[in-house]
Amino acid sequence: MALLNGGANGMNTPTSSSDSVEQVTLCHICSDRATGNHYGAISCDGCKGFFRRSIRKEHNYKCRFNQNCNVDKTHRNACRACRLRRCMQAGMKAGAIQNERDVIGKRRKIESEGETSGQFLQSLLVSEKLCLQLRESVIKSTEQVVYDTGKIKYNTHPAHFATLNDVGTSIHQQLCILVEWAKSLIQFQELPLNDQAALLKACAAPLIVHGVAYRSLSTDGGVYLANEKILSTEEATLIGDINLVVSRIINELVIPMRELGYDSTDYVALKAIIFFNPYIIRPTNPTVASILKNARLLALKALKNQRPDDLDECRFGQLMLLLPAVHSIAQQLVEDVQLCHLFQLINVDDLMQELILNDGSKANKDTVPHAVIEKLKSPV
Amino acid sequence: MALLNGGANGMNTPTSSSDSVEQVTLCHICSDRATGNHYGAISCDGCKGFFRRSIRKEHNYKCRFNQNCNVDKTHRNACRACRLRRCMQAGMKAGAIQNERDVIGKRRKIESEGETSGQFLQSLLVSEKLCLQLRESVIKSTEQVVYDTGKIKYNTHPAHFATLNDVGTSIHQQLCILVEWAKSLIQFQELPLNDQAALLKACAAPLIVHGVAYRSLSTDGGVYLANEKILSTEEATLIGDINLVVSRIINELVIPMRELGYDSTDYVALKAIIFFNPYIIRPTNPTVASILKNARLLALKALKNQRPDDLDECRFGQLMLLLPAVHSIAQQLVEDVQLCHLFQLINVDDLMQELILNDGSKANKDTVPHAVIEKLKSPV
DNA sequence: TCAAATCGGTCAAAGGTCCC
DNA sequence: AGGGACCTTTGACCGATTTG
C-alpha cells in the first residue's frame, strides 16, 4: 500500500540506504514506516496524529535539552518539542489541519454568543483558502508577464534561494493577493472606496511581514517568500539591510510562533486583527470606524476562544505580543525597500509605490492611489 | 471503562445482557480488580505499574522464602520477586515496556501561580509609586542644573504650554526615571549589565510614549509631558513633525485608553510587558531570555486577571492592541528627535544619545553606552 | 464511476503524575 | 522510597471526503 508519489513536495528523500530489497517509504520525521503524505510530509500514523494533536491543542512544548534530540521510532516520544520541530522541518503545515468535523454521537458546543465570532472565523478561513488558490495563479502569471521584464528567471527548483529581485517580485505578488483578499471580506466591502484604499495602504507592509513569517514556520534558517523562493539569512547578507529584516522575522516572529504552535486559525484571526485597525486611518465617517472596531472585536474573540483550556500559558496574550514585532519589522522593511528603490535595485510598479512606499506619516496623504483604486474596482 | 473484550476469545458480545451481576474482571496476578490488558496480561493498575518500574530499573529481586509466596491483593507487596514472577507467568512481556517519554504538564497548576502574578503586580505598583516620588525631585533638579543650560525657562504656571525645548527636557527626565524604575525591579537586577543596558536602549522610546499617553488621560487636546508641561496639538504644529506624534498619541493611545477605562494597574502591567521583551535584544545567555520570558508572562497574567468578569468586550485583547501603536509611535518619535538633533533644535546629552538616538537596528551595536552603564552602577 | 490518497475520529493500552 | 489511583498521550485502525 501507500504508493507515495511525493509529487507536490519536491524535497529530496534522504533514504539513500533503502535501495536494498523492500521498497518501504520511511517517515521523514522518525524513520518509522510511512503511511502516506500527511500535512505536507511523508510520515507515519504516529507523527501524523501527533502533529494534528499538537496543532489543535495548545501544547507549549519545551525541550529539556538542547533542541537537538534524536527523533526516531524508539525515541520519538522522548521529546515532543523536538518531534514537533522535526515535523515542521519535514514540511508539515499547520494550515493543512482542518477544523473539527461534526460527529453524530457528540453533542455540539453550546454557543451563546460566540457564534458570531465563530462564523467570522469561518469566513476568514474561507477567504484564506481562496487566496491560497489565487497565489498559485498569481505566481505563474506575474512570474513572466506582469512583473519583472528585465531579468531571466531560473525556476528549475521548486524551492531555491532568492535574489533581491525575487524580493521585489514576492512583495508585488503579495500585494496583488492582499487586495483580492480584502475584497473578499464582507466588512471591507461595506467601506467607502477611499477608506478601503487607506486601510490597505496602512496595513500592507505589516500584513506582508506577517504572511512571510507564517509561511516560514517550516523553513529553517530563512524566510519563505510568496513566490516559493527561500531567502536565507546568509544570502540576505549580500543584499543590503534585508538581512536584518529577515533575521528579525525569524527571531521575533517565526521562533515565537513555533513555540506557541501557531496554526492557520491563529493566522487568519491575527491577520484580521492587523487589518481591521480603526485607528490607523482617519475614517471618513463614524460608521467606518464602527465597522472596523466591530470586525476587530470579532477577530479578537475568535483568537481568544482558540484553546479554551489554556489557563497557564496565557497563549492569547503571547499571540498578541507578535503584533508589535510585526509592525516594527514592517516599518523597517518599508525603509529598506525605499532604499533599494532609490538605488534602482528593485523594480517598483504603481501598486507597490502606492501601498508600500508612500509613507502614510508624511504629508502626501492626499495623493490618490490610482492603481489601488483600479484594482479595487476590477471584478477579479 | 475498559470493558475487557478478551483478546483470546473473539466471542464477546458488546455490552450485552450480562447486567445481572457485575462482571468484574480480575487481575491475573493478584486477583484485584483488573483495569485492562497490560503488557500482555489482564491486570490491575498496581501490577501494571509494578511491572513497568521493575523492568525499567532492572531490579533483581530475591525471594527470601521458597519462590511460591502468595500473591493476592493484600499480600502482593510482601515479596517482589514472587510478584514479578507471577507477572511473567501471567503473560506480561518485558518487550512491551517502552522508553521513557516526555514529561506531561503538571496536574496541579492552580497553586501559587496566580498568587505570583499578583505579587508581581504589587511590586510593580510599588516601583511605580517610588518613581512618581522620584519624578518630583528629578523635575526640580533637571530643571535648572543638570540639563538645559542655554534657554531661559518660564515656570510660572503649574501647567502651561510646552516649547520644543520642553520636549527635550521631558524626554531627558523620563529617561532618568526610567533607569531608576528598571533598577528597582528584581528581575532586572538579575540581568548582566550589558543586557540591562540593551534592554533599556530597546525599550526607552516605547516606554516614554506609553508614559506620556497615560499621563495625558485627563488632559484634553494635548499631551502631558513629564515636566508638567502640556504639549497641545495646536502648539505642536509649530515645531516640526512632533505634532504628528502628538496627534497619534492622542488618537491611537489616549482615546482608546479612555474608552477602556485604563487605570494604574493596567499601566504598570503593560509597562512591564513592553519592558521585559525577550526578543528585542540578543541575550548573552539563555538564562537572560528565560528571566525576561518569565517576567513578561507574569505581567501578561496580571493584566489578563484584571476585570475577570469581562467576557464580552475582550478588554485584555484591546489593551494588548495598544502595543503596536506604542511601538510605532515610538519609532516615529525617535526619527523626529533625531531630526531635531540634526538641526540643533534641542539639546541632547549622553543619556538621550545612548537610549534614544542610537538606533539599535543599525550596525553600531557594539558601542558601549557609557552614560547608561554609569547610571546603572550608581546607587540612586 | 471508483479507487487511491488523505483528511477526520476512536479508544485500548502505552505513558506520566503525585498523594500516601 | 516505592505503590497505585487517576489522568494524558500515543498510534493502529477505521470511516468520510476529495480527486484524477
Q: Which of A112-121, B71-80, B345-354, B356-365 has the highest mean pLDDT?
A: B71-80
Q: Would you state the pLDDT for residue B352?
A: 85
Which of these ranges, A204-213, B66-75, B97-106, has the smallest mean pLDDT?
B97-106
| CATH number for the domain running over B117-377 | 1.10.565.10
Return the closest nucleotide (C1') to the Cα of A50. Answer: D10
> Which chain A residues are closer than 8 Å to B332 by Cβ?
361
C-alpha cell at B289: 531570555
- Which of B282, B301, B323 has its CB closest to that of A324? B323
Which of these ranges, A220-229, B115-124, B365-374, has the smallest mean pLDDT?
A220-229
Question: By CA distance, what is B97's nearest residue in A?
Answer: A74
Cβ–Cβ gap B109/A312 under 8 Å: yes
Q: Would you state the pLDDT for residue B54?
A: 95
Better-scored residue on pLDDT, A239 or B268: B268
Return the closest nucleotide (C1') to the Cα of A53. Answer: D9
- For the residues B169-198, what does the mean pLDDT come to? 92
State which residue has its Cα closest to the C1' atom of D10.
A46
- Which of B256, B317, B327 has its CB closest to that of A324? B327
Task: Strand D: list positions under 7 Å from protein Cβ.
Answer: 2-13
Q: What confidence category does residue B63 fall into, taking pLDDT thresholds of 50, 70 and 90?
A: very high
Q: Which pairs from A237-240 meet CB under 8 Å and 24+ separation?
A: A239/A163, A239/A164, A239/A167, A239/A345, A240/A164, A240/A336, A240/A339, A240/A340, A240/A345
Q: For chains A and B, what is the number of CB pairs under 8 angstroms?
A: 96
Spacing of C-alpha B342 from chain mean position: 38
| CATH number for the domain running over B24-113 | 3.30.50.10
Task: Count the helices and strands in chain A (H runs, E runs).
Answer: 15, 5
> Which chain B residues are closer than 8 Å to A280 by Cβ?
252
Q: Would you state the pLDDT for residue A58?
A: 59
Q: Which residue out of A32, A320, A332, A365 would a mutagenesis test of the B interface target, given it has the greatest number of B Cβ atoms within 10 Å?
A: A320
- Protein-strand D interface by C-beta, 7 A: A 32, 44-47, 49-50, 53, 57, 59, 76-77, 80; B 32, 44-47, 49-50, 53, 76-77, 80, 101-102, 104-105, 107
Q: Are A224 and A212 in contact (CB under 8 A)?
A: yes
Task: Count the helices and strands in chain B (H runs, E runs).
Answer: 15, 5
CA distance A309 to B342: 53
Q: How far is B52 from chain A (nearest CA, A)?
A: 17
**Does residue B39 lie within 7 Å of nucleic acid chain C, judged by its CB?**
yes
Better-scored residue on pLDDT, B134 or A72: A72
User: Mind listing the pLDDT tens digit of every residue in chain A (380 residues)?
Assistant: 333 333 333 333 333 344 444 567 899 999 999 999 999 999 999 999 999 998 887 567 888 888 889 999 999 999 999 999 999 889 888 778 876 665 443 333 333 334 477 778 878 888 888 888 777 766 665 544 333 333 333 343 344 666 677 778 888 889 999 999 999 898 999 999 989 999 999 999 999 999 999 988 877 766 777 666 666 666 655 566 777 888 899 999 998 998 887 888 889 999 999 999 998 888 778 889 999 999 999 999 888 876 654 555 688 899 999 999 999 999 999 988 888 888 877 778 888 888 888 654 444 455 677 788 888 877 76
Q: Are B177 and B373 in contact (CB under 8 A)?
A: no
| 3-state secondary structure at position B173 | helix
Q: Which residue out of A277, A312, A359 would a mutagenesis test of the B interface target, given it has the greatest number of B Cβ atoms within 10 Å?
A: A312
The distance (Å) linking the CA of A7 with the C1' of D20 is 14
- Which of B312, B323, B361 has its CB closest to that of A323? B323
Q: Are B201 and B355 in contact (CB under 8 A)?
A: yes
Q: Would you state the pLDDT for residue B2?
A: 38
Give the predicted TM-score (pTM) of the model. 0.70
Question: By CA distance, what is B326's nearest residue in A?
Answer: A324
Give the model confidence (pLDDT) of B273-296 as tens digits: 999 999 888 877 888 998 999 899
What dihedral do alpha carbons A340, A345, A349, A352 form, nearest 10°? -30
- For the residues B330-350, what does the mean pLDDT come to? 85
Q: Would you state the pLDDT for residue B111?
A: 45
So where are chain A's domains?
Answer: 24-113, 117-377
Q: Which residues share a beta bridge with A26?
A: A33
Q: Would you state the pLDDT for residue A128?
A: 87
Nearest to B324 by CA among A284, A358, A6, A275: A275
Question: By CA distance, what is A114's nearest residue in B?
Answer: B312
Say yes or no to pLDDT of B137 above 80: no
Cβ–Cβ gap B102/A61 under 8 Å: yes
Q: Are A366 and A194 in contact (CB under 8 A)?
A: no
Which of these ranges, A348-362, B5-19, B356-370, has the smallest mean pLDDT?
B5-19
Q: Do the domains B24-113 and B117-377 sit in the same CATH topology, yes or no?
A: no
